[in-house]
């Protein structure tokens, strides 16, 4: 589980034992969580302008440009689509290399993402008060 003002994720085991997974920075504001088919856990670190990938006990950081504010993500093929809310766009992360590519501008603070059965990504705009589709 994420802690909006914490420095770690909390993991609750089946036995009820709670352990922490440190993200490596103060106040990362972990908001979005996504588990990939390979078992890796992706974390959108809104306050740190980056993603964290947690697999096999290792945390790998994927930096975004300052002010991006990654928030929500979905897997689309071999890429992760990520709302760069502070930059008003949807960015793409190559799952194999971790390379971030700036995506199209969206308008007013893209907030949440969902993938439709046809593979198209839909998103909400927090300040725009609308729902829109990529592509």
Phi, psi of 89 (to 5 degrees): -155, 170
And the tokens for 128? 């725009």
Q: How far is CA 24 from the centre of its chain?
A: 16
Burial of 59 (0-12, 13-18, 19+ CB in 10 A): middle
Question: What integer pLDDT is reported at residue 90 of this predicted model?
Answer: 95
The CA R_g of the chain, rounded to the nearest whole Å, is: 15
Question: What integer pLDDT is reported at residue 3 of this predicted model?
Answer: 58
pLDDT at 1 > cutoff 60? no
Range of the domain at 91: 8-133
- How far apart CA 67 and CA 65 sit, in angstroms, is 6
Examine residue 36 and state whether it is found in any structural domain, yes or no. yes
Examine residue 3 and state whether it is found in any structural domain, yes or no. no
User: In which order are the strands placed within the sheet that holds 121-125?
Assistant: 110-115, 121-125, 130-133
Residues paired with residue 7 on neighbouring β-strands, in sequence order: none
41: CATH? 2.130.10.10
Examine residue 56 and state whether it is found in any structural domain, yes or no. yes
**pTM confidence score:** 0.85
Examine residue 17 and state whether it is found in any structural domain, yes or no. yes
Examine residue 1 and state whether it is found in any structural domain, yes or no. no
Q: Count the domains in the chain.
A: 1
Examine residue 118 and state whether it is found in any structural domain, yes or no. yes
Examine residue 21 and state whether it is found in any structural domain, yes or no. yes
Question: What integer pLDDT is reported at residue 2 of this predicted model?
Answer: 60
And the tokens for 51? 């993603």
Q: What are 57-112's pLDDT values in tens digits?
A: 888 999 999 999 999 999 999 999 999 999 999 999 999 898 999 988 888 899 99
- How far apart CA 123 and CA 83 sit, in angstroms, is 8
């Amino acid at each position: 589980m994420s802690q909006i003002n914490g420095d770690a994720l909390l993991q609750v085991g089946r036995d009820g034992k709670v352990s922490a997974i440190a993200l490596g920075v103060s106040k990362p504001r972990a908001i979005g969580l996504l588990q990939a088919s390979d078992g890796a856990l992706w974390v959108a670190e809104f306050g740190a302008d980056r993603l964290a990938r947690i697999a096999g006990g290792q945390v790998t950081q994927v930096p975004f440009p300052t002010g991006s504010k990654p928030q929500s993500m979905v897997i689309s093929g071999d890429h992760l689509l990520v709302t760069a809310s502070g930059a008003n766009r949807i960015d793409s992360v190559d799952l194999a290399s971790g390379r971030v590519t700036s995506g199209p501008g969206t308008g007013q603070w893209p907030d949440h993402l969902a993938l439709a059965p046809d593979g198209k990504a839909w998103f909400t705009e927090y300040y725009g008060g609308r729902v829109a589709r990529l592509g």
